[in-house]
Amino acid sequence: MNHRAIGAIFNFEINRARRTIGQSIISPVLSTILYFIVFGAAIGGRIDAIEGVSYGAFIVPGLIMQTVLAQSISLASFAIYFPRFSGTIYELLSAPVSFAEVVTGYVGAAAVKALTIGLIILATSFFFVPIEILHPFWMLAFLFLTCITFCLLGFIIGIWADGFEQLQMIPLLVITPLSFLGGSFYSIKMLPEFWQNVSLLNPVVYLVSAFRWSFYGTADVAVGISLAVILAFLCISLAVIAWIFKTGYRLRN
Amino acid sequence: MTAAISVRNLSKTYATGFSALKDVNLDVRRGEIFALLGPNGAGKTTLISTICGIVRPTAGTVEVCGHDISKNYRAARSSIGLVPQELTTDAFETPWNTVAFSRGLFGKPANPAHIEDLLKRLSLWDKKDTQIRRLSGGMKRRVMIAKALSHEPTVVFLDEPSAGVDVALRTSMWEQIRELRATGVTIILTTHYLEEAEEIADRIGVIRKGELILTEDKTDLMKKLGKKELVIDLYEAMNSTPPSLAPYAPALHADGRQIVFTYDDRNGGIPQLLAALNASNIRYKDLSTRQSSLEDIFIHLVGQP
Ligand SMILES: Nc1ncnc2c1ncn2[C@@H]1O[C@H](COP(=O)(O)OP(=O)(O)OP(=O)(O)O)[C@@H](O)[C@H]1O
Ligand SMILES: [Mg+2]
C-alpha cells in the first residue's frame, strides 16, 4: 500500500480547506446558526414542544445532519471534479496509487472537513438552545457514517459530472428537496398517513431520525432500521466506486 | 539488462472509434535520449499517455524497466516522471507544496533537500512560495518538470518540452536534459523542432497516423542526411553506364541524359567522380549537387498518404 500517497492527497486537501477556510468551514456554520436564531430562538418560542423537546432543540440534530449531508457531497464532489476539470488529474492517473488509495485520500479528507463542520455547529448550538445528548457514542457514530457515506456519493458525482452544472444538479435537484422533507423541521408522525409512507422512501428521514434519537431518545423510525438503511447506502456507494474502479469510468480513456 | 521501455504490438482505439495507435513496437534503451517526431495528431501524446497509465491500451503490452504497466503498475509507474504537453498546474498552490505533493504521491519519503536542489536548478527557488497562477508560462512548465523529477524517476517523458520556451531557455534546457542523462536517466521527448532532435537525441522515432514508421540512431540518420547527390547532364544520352563507373554506383535518369551519383565526403567526393567521368571519356554540359536534409526525409516520410 502506498500510504504516503494517501497522506499526500489527504494533506493537500486539508491544506486547501485551510487556505479557503471562510468558504469551506465558516460559511456553512454561519448559515446553520442563522437557522438556530430564526427558527429556534425567534419563532421557536411560539411553536409547541414536539415529543417533549422544545422546538429550538428539536431542530438542531436535523439541521446538523442536513448541513453535514450537503457539505459531504459538495466537498467530495468538488475535490475530485476540480483536478479532472483543470487537467491536474494526469498526475493521479500516472502515479503508483491504487484507486482505493485515491478514494481514501479524497473521501477521508472531505469526511474530516464535513465532520468538523458538524461538530462546530453542534458546539455553537449550545449557545442558542438547551441541548442534551443521551447517546453520545451513537451520535458520533451516525455523524461519522453519514460523512463517509455521502462523501463517497459526492466522489461518485464528481467523477460522473461533465461540467459544473452537472456537479450542482444532483445536490440542488435531489439532495436539497429530500433534505428539507427529511424531517429536520417536523416529526413525520405529524404528517397524514399517506405522506408518512411516502416519507419512508426518503433516505434523509432515516438519517435525521437516528441522529435525533441519539440526542433525545425519540425517533420517527426504529433506530435499528435507520442504521440498516444507512449501512445499505454505504454499501451501494462502495459498490458503485468499485465499478468505477473496474471500468475506469470517466477517468481513463 | 532490460530495456527502459519495451512496447509490443500496442494499439489504441479511442471510444470515438478513432484508431490513434496501430501495432506499435518500440524499445527505448536505458540511458538514451529518444526523440519522437511526427505531425500534429500522429499519436505521440497517446503513446506517452498509454505508457504512463493515463490511457488504457486496446491491445498489446508495455514494460517499463521490465515491469508490465498493468500487472505491475506500481513498480512501472514509480520509475516514471511525466511532463505532459498541456500546462496543467494547481493554480492556487505554491511550487514548493505542489512538488512536495508529487513526491508523496509517488510514495517517496519527504526530502526537502532534494526539492530545494530541484527548484534551484530550475531557477524557481525565489518563486517557491508564490502561487503558481502568478508565474509565467515558462516558469509553470519548469514547475511541472520539477514535479516530474520530484520522486527521482529513472525514465522521464517530456511531451514537447520546448513548446512556448524562448530560444535562450531552450538551449539551457537542452543542457539540463543532457545533465539528466548523465545521471543515468532515460529520456523520451516529443518535439516539432527537427533541430532539437538533431541537437540532443541519441535515437529518433517517427510516428505517422498512429504507426511508428522509423526508429534509427541519430548518427545513422545523419549519415543519410550527409548523403549528397551529384547530377551530371550529358551531351549524349546513353543506354547504360560504362563498367568503369560501376564502383561509384551511378544511376541513369531523364532517358539516359543524366547520371546521378550518390556520394559523401568520405569516398573522395566530387573531384574523384569527375576524374572518373573524364577517364571514361564521358562529355557533360552541366553539373549540379543536391542534398537531402532531415527535414526532407521527415517530410517525405510523413507526407506519404
Ligand atoms: N480522448 C480522445 N478521444 C478521441 N480521440 C482522441 C483523444 N485523444 C486524442 N485523440 C485523437 O488521437 C489522435 C492522436 O492524438 P495525440 O494527442 O496523440 O497526437 P500528437 O501526436 O500528440 O499531436 P500533437 O503534435 O498535436 O501534440 C488525434 O487524431 C486525436 O484527435
Ligand atoms: Mg501531443
The pTM (predicted TM-score) of the whole model is 0.85
What is the pLDDT at residue B226? 60
Stated as kind and residue range, the H or E segment containing B300 is helix B294-303
Structural domain containing residue A58:
3-247
pLDDT at position B267:
61
Own/partner contacts of B98-101, CB < 8 Å, gap of 24 or more, are: B98/B132, B98/B143, B98/B147, B99/B143, B99/B146, B99/B147, B99/B150, B100/A8, B100/B150, B101/A8, B101/A11, B101/A12
Nearest to A253 among B55, B73, B97 (CB): B55
Name B52's bridge partners. Answer: none
Please tell me the predicted confidence (pLDDT) of residue A90: 93
Asked if A18 has any chain B CB less than 8 Å from its own CB, the reply is: no
A62 found inside a domain: yes
Closest by CA position to A106, among listed A53, A69, A151: A151
- pLDDT for A184 beyond 70: yes
Q: Is the ipTM of this complex over 0.95?
A: no
Q: Whose CA is nearest to atom 11 of ligand 1?
A: B20
Please name the residue of chain A whose CA is at the shortest distance from the CA of residue B46: A253
Minimum-distance CB partner of A94 among B77, B103, B108:
B77
Q: How many domains does chain A have?
A: 1
Q: Assess contact for B273 and B213: CB atoms under 8 A.
A: no
Task: Give the closest-approach CA distance of A7 to chain B in angstroms.
Answer: 8
Longest dimension (CA), chain B: 79
Residues B186 and B27: their CA atoms lie apart, in Å, by 12
A106 CA: distance to closest CA in chain B (Å): 13
**What does the pLDDT read at residue A39?**
78
Q: How many residues does chain A have?
A: 253
pLDDT for res B165: 74
Q: Quick count: other Cβ atoms within 10 Å of Cβ B271?
A: 8
Report yes or no: A2 at the B interface, CB cutoff 8 Å. yes
A residues 119-138 lying closer than 8 A (beta carbon) to B: none
State how far the Cα of A33 lies from the Cα of A40, in Å rounded to an integer: 10
A252 within a domain of the structure (yes/no):
no
- Does residue A113 fall inside a structural domain? yes
Q: Is the pLDDT of residue A242 over 60?
A: yes
The answer for A 77-116 residues in CB contact with B (under 8 A) is 86-88, 90-97
Query: What architecture is domain B3-223?
Result: 3-Layer(aba) Sandwich (3.40)
Of A87-91, A152-156, A189-193, B8-12, the one with minimum mean pLDDT is A189-193
Q: Give the nearest partner residue to B105 out of A16, A19, A95, using CB atoms.
A: A95
Which atom of ligand 1 is closest in space to residue B43's alpha carbon?
18
Which residues have C-beta atoms less than 6 Å from ligand 1?
A 253; B 14, 16, 18, 20, 38, 40-46, 85
Instruction: Name which of A11, A88, A101 to mutate to probe chain B: the one with the most chain B Cβ atoms within 10 A of its Cβ.
Output: A88
Kindly determine whether residue A91 and residue B102, on different chains, have CB atoms separated by under 8 Å.
Answer: yes
Confirm if A211 and A65 have CB atoms less than 8 A apart. yes
A47-65 burial by CB neighbour count: b if 16+ within 10 A, else e? beebeebbbbbbbbbbbbb
Q: Cβ(B131)–Cβ(B161) under 8 Å?
A: no
**Measured CA angle at A152 (ends B73, B92), to 5 deg:** 75
pLDDT tens, residue order, chain B (305 aa): 689 999 999 999 999 999 999 999 999 999 999 999 988 899 999 999 999 999 999 999 999 999 999 999 999 999 999 999 988 988 899 999 999 999 999 999 999 999 999 999 888 999 999 999 999 888 898 899 999 999 999 999 999 988 777 788 788 888 889 999 999 999 999 988 877 888 899 999 999 899 998 898 888 877 765 667 888 898 888 888 888 888 888 888 888 888 888 876 666 678 888 888 888 888 888 888 876 666 666 766 666 54
Check CB contact under 8 Å for A2 and B107.
yes
pLDDT at position A156 over 60: yes
* Residue A45 DSSP SS3: helix
Q: Cβ A253–B92 below 8 Å, yes or no?
A: no
Domain boundaries, chain B: 3-223, 227-302
Query: In chain A, which ranges are continuous DSSP H helix?
Result: 3-19, 21, 27-35, 55-86, 89-94, 99-128, 136-160, 164-170, 176-180, 193-199, 203-216, 223-247
**A227 in reach of chain B (CB within 8 A):** no
Burial of B63-84, coded b for 16+ CB within 10 Å and e otherwise, reads bbbebebeeebeebbbbbbbbb
As a whole number of angstroms, the distance between CA A197 and CA A214 comes to 23
Going from the Cα of B86 to the center of ligand 2, the distance in angstroms, rounded, reads 9
In a domain, residue A208? The reply is yes
Kindly identify the ligand whose nearest atom is closest to the C-alpha of B40.
1
The residue whose C-alpha atom lies closest to atom 24 belonging to ligand 1 is B40
Of A99-103, A160-164, A178-182, the one with minimum mean pLDDT is A178-182
What dotted CATH number matches B227-302?
3.30.70
Which contiguous run of DSSP H or E holds residue B116? helix B112-121
Task: Give CA–CA dist A239/A233, Å, rounded.
Answer: 10
Report the amino acid identity of residue B159. Answer: D
Q: What is the pLDDT of residue B185?
A: 95
* Contact with chain A for residue B89, Cβ under 8 A: yes
The Å distance, Cα B190 to ligand 2 centre, comes to 8
Q: Lowest mean pLDDT: which of A58-72, A93-107, B165-179, B203-217?
A: B165-179
Q: Which residue has the higher pLDDT, B256 or A156?
A: A156
What is the residue-averaged pLDDT of chain A? Answer: 90
- Taking the alpha carbons at both ends of chain B, their separation in whole angstroms is 38
B14/A15 touch (CB, cutoff 8 Å), yes or no: no
| % residues pLDDT > 70 (chain A) | 100
3-state secondary structure (DSSP) of residue B189: strand
Residue A253: inside a domain, yes or no?
A: no
DSSP of B286-298? EEEEEE--HHHHH
Q: Name the pLDDT band for A41 (thresholds 50, 70, 90).
A: confident
Q: Is residue A25 predicted with pLDDT exceeding 60?
A: yes
SS3 A248: coil
Of the partner residues B84, B88, B102, the one whose CB lies closest to the CB of residue A86: B88
